[in-house]
Structure 1
C-alpha cells in the first residue's frame, strides 16, 4: 500500500513536537531554534552520515540552500557543539509520542496484520542493549561497574521493545525504556527493572490488540511473569535450567509429551524434536506460578545437535500448537539481529559517542537513532517508491552510500524529488500499484 501522505503527516507531527522543546537559554542569545538543533541531530541518524551537517553548511555557503533545510526543515544549522549544548537538558520522553503516532498509523493502515502470529497475537520482544561505555566520561544518569583492579566503567543501557514476527524480516521499534538511577532507590537500576517499568507504562496501550511478550532467560521469573498476566499480556520466555532448578527438578520426574518432525534441506534432513508439559511450578514456593514448558532440539541425520532451547509460556501447549509456540519464542533473536545489531553495525552507529553531555544528551541522541530506524521502517512498509529503490539495490549499505553521496553533492527540494532522481538514475521504470 502506498501511503506517502501518512509519512509527510508524521514528519510534520515530529517537527511540531520539536518546535515546543523547552529552552534553557535566557537573554537574547537565541539565534538558533531548539527545533533546528534537534532536527540537525536527527538528520545525522536518518542519513547515517556523521558528516551530513558539515556538507550542508558547505552547500548553503556555495549554493544558498541545502538539504538539511529542504529535507528536514532546519532553518539554520548550529555547530556540532552548539547542538550538543542545546539538547543536553532535553529528556528523551519529549519525542516518545512520535513512536505512538507511527504505531497508530500502522495499525490504522492495517499493516500490523503482517506481523501477527500464534493466536493472532503481535509479538513484542524485550531486550537490553548497551549504547555507551567509557572509563572516564560519565554523567549523573550513567550506570557503573567496578572491576577487581579498581577500575570503574561507566555505561548506558536501554531496553528496546520491538514488534517481531517469524515470517517477517521487518521489525517495528516501540518506545524505549532507559536504565537510569531511579529517585528514591538506593540500588542501581537494571534491565529487569526497566522492563517492568515499560510494561507498567504501556501494557494498557497494547493489551487489547493481543500481545505475546518474548524475552531471554533474564525475564523468565515469577514477579515479571505475574506482572505480564496482571496486565493481560501473554508470554513466551527462554527458560534455562541453570536459573530454574526447581522447575527442572520437576521435569526429571514427569512424563513429557514428545514428538519429532523431519525437515529436508536438499538431500539431507534435520530432525526437530519437541518435548513439552503443562502446569509446572516456575519456582520453589507455595505460591509458585504454574507455567507451560517446551523444548526444541534440532539434530542432523548423524545425531549431531545443532540447536536446543527451552521456553516457558502461559499459552497451553498441545501437539498441534507446540511448533508455532516455539517458532514465536525463537523469533526473539530478531530483536538482536534485526534491531540492535542493525543499530550498532549497519550504519546507525548506536555505540558511537555522538555526544554524552552532563544530563540527557546521550539518551536523547540514542532515541533519535532508534527513531530514525523506525522512520526508515515506516517508509519501507508504506511507500512504494522507497520499497522499489530498496529492492533494486543490493544491500542496505548501498542504499545509504547513495543517499550520502547524493545529498552531499546535489540539492533536492523534497524527499519525493530525491526518490524520483534515484529511480531515474538507476534507469528503472516505476509503476505504482493502483489497485
Structure 2
C-alpha cells in the first residue's frame, strides 16, 4: 500500500482478511473449533506476528500474556484467544496453501476499487512485477512429505530438506511499499521424479495470473535464472512483457550479437539520473 494510507484503511484490509480467515475449513475438527481458540484466531495472530515485526514466533509467545499485546490482538486483528507458538505452528502447517489465495485476491480487488493501482503505474505497457524465490525452511533432520531435497542420491553427503517460495508483487521505483500477489510454494510435487523449482513455479504463477487477473498488464522482472528461451517464450505466450537479467557468461551468443551491433552503431543506450543523483543506464 502507498505509505500515505492511514490507519482506518489498514484496519479495513485487516477486517477483510479476517472475513476470509473465517471461511477457511478448520483442519482440527468437523465443527470448526477446538476449545476456545478458533482457526481465525490462529491465522490472524500469525499475521499479527509478521505485521507487528516480531523477531520470531517464540519472541511473540513470551509477550502474549501482556495486557497490551492481548488488547492489540483483539482490537486490531480480531484475536480473542492468542495461541502459543507451538500450537500455532501445528495448526497452520495443516492448512493447504491454496486456502490463503482468497486473502490476496480480495485485498487486490479492494485496491482496484479504490483506484490505488495508479500509485504503481510506471510504464504504459504495464505494472512492474518482480518474480523471485526465497528459501523459507532448511534442515538435515526435520522434514515432511512436501520437502524438496538436496544430496538425496549421494550416500556420502547428508540429505538436506528445504522449502522455497516464489513471490511476485507490483512495485514502482521510488515507492517503498509493494502490492503482493499470491505467492507460489516450491515444494515436492505429487508423482514428481525431480524436485520442484523456480521455473516450474513461474509456470504455475503465469496460469494463476491469467485466471485471476486476466486484464492486468504486467512487465515481469527476472534474474538470470529465468532468462532462458523456453521460459521467456511462455511469458510472452501469456501476453506479458518482461525485463530479464542476462549474464554474459550464460548468454555468450547473445553477447556476440550485441557486440557486432554495437560496432555498427545500432545499440541504443539510455541513462537516467534519479533524485539522489544516482545514474542508471541500460542498452
Shorter-chain TM band: 0.7 to 0.9
Counterpart pick for 2:60 among 52, 62, 65: 52
What's 1:292 paired with? none
Instruction: Spell out the pairing of 1:113-132 with structure 2 (5 A cutoff).
Output: 113-132=118-137
Which residue does 1:175 correspond to in 2? 182
Q: Larger Cα Rg: Structure 1 or Structure 2?
A: 1
Structure 2: unaligned runs, 5 residues or longer: none
Distance 1:272 1:27 in 2: 57
TM-score, structure 2 as length reference: 0.81
In structure 2, the CA distance between the partners of 1:120 and 1:242, relative to structure 1 (3 Å rule), is: same
The answer as to whether partners of 1:158 and 1:177 remain within 8 angstroms in 2 is: yes
Counterparts of 1:139-178 in structure 2 under 5 Å? 139-146=144-151, 149-178=156-185
Alpha-carbon distance in 2 for matches of 1:273, 1:39: 43
Aligned positions of 1:3-402 closer than 5 A? 5-26=8-29, 30-31=34-35, 32-49=37-54, 50=57, 51-59=59-67, 66-146=71-151, 149-254=156-261, 255-258=264-267, 295=283
- Tell me the distance in 2 between the aligned counterparts of 1:251 and 1:16: 53
* Root-mean-square deviation over aligned CA pairs: 3.1
C-alpha deviation, 1:142, in angstroms: 1.2
Query: 2 CA distance for matches of 1:272 and 1:36?
Result: 47
- Residue by residue over 1:307-346, the C-alpha shift from the partner in whole angstroms, topping out at 9 and shown as x without a partner, is xxxxxxxxxxxxxxxxxxxxxxxxxxxxxxxxxxxxxxxx
Q: What SS is found at the alignment partner of 1:36?
A: helix
Instruction: Tell me, yes or no, if the aligned pair for 1:122 and 1:211 is still in contact at 8 Å.
Output: yes
Q: Which moved more, 1:220-229 or 1:244-253?
A: 244-253
Partners of 1:203 and 1:235 in 2: how far apart? 15
Secondary structure of 2:18 counterpart: helix
Shift of residue 3 of structure 1?
6.3
**Do 1:44 and 1:53's aligned partners in 2 also have CA atoms closer than 8 Å?**
no
- Aligned in 2, Cα 1:57/1:112: closer, same or farther, shift over 3 Å? same
Task: Please list every run of 5 or more consecutive structure 1 residues that lacks an aligned counterpart in the other structure.
Answer: 275-294, 296-435
CA distance, structure 2, for counterparts of residue 27 and residue 115 of structure 1: 43
Find the residue that maps to 1:212 and give its secondary structure.
Answer: strand
> Structure 1 length as normaliser, TM-score?
0.55
Please state how far the C-alpha of 1:35 moved relative to its aligned partner.
1.5
Instruction: For residue 214 of structure 1, give the secondary structure of its aligned residue in structure 2.
Output: strand
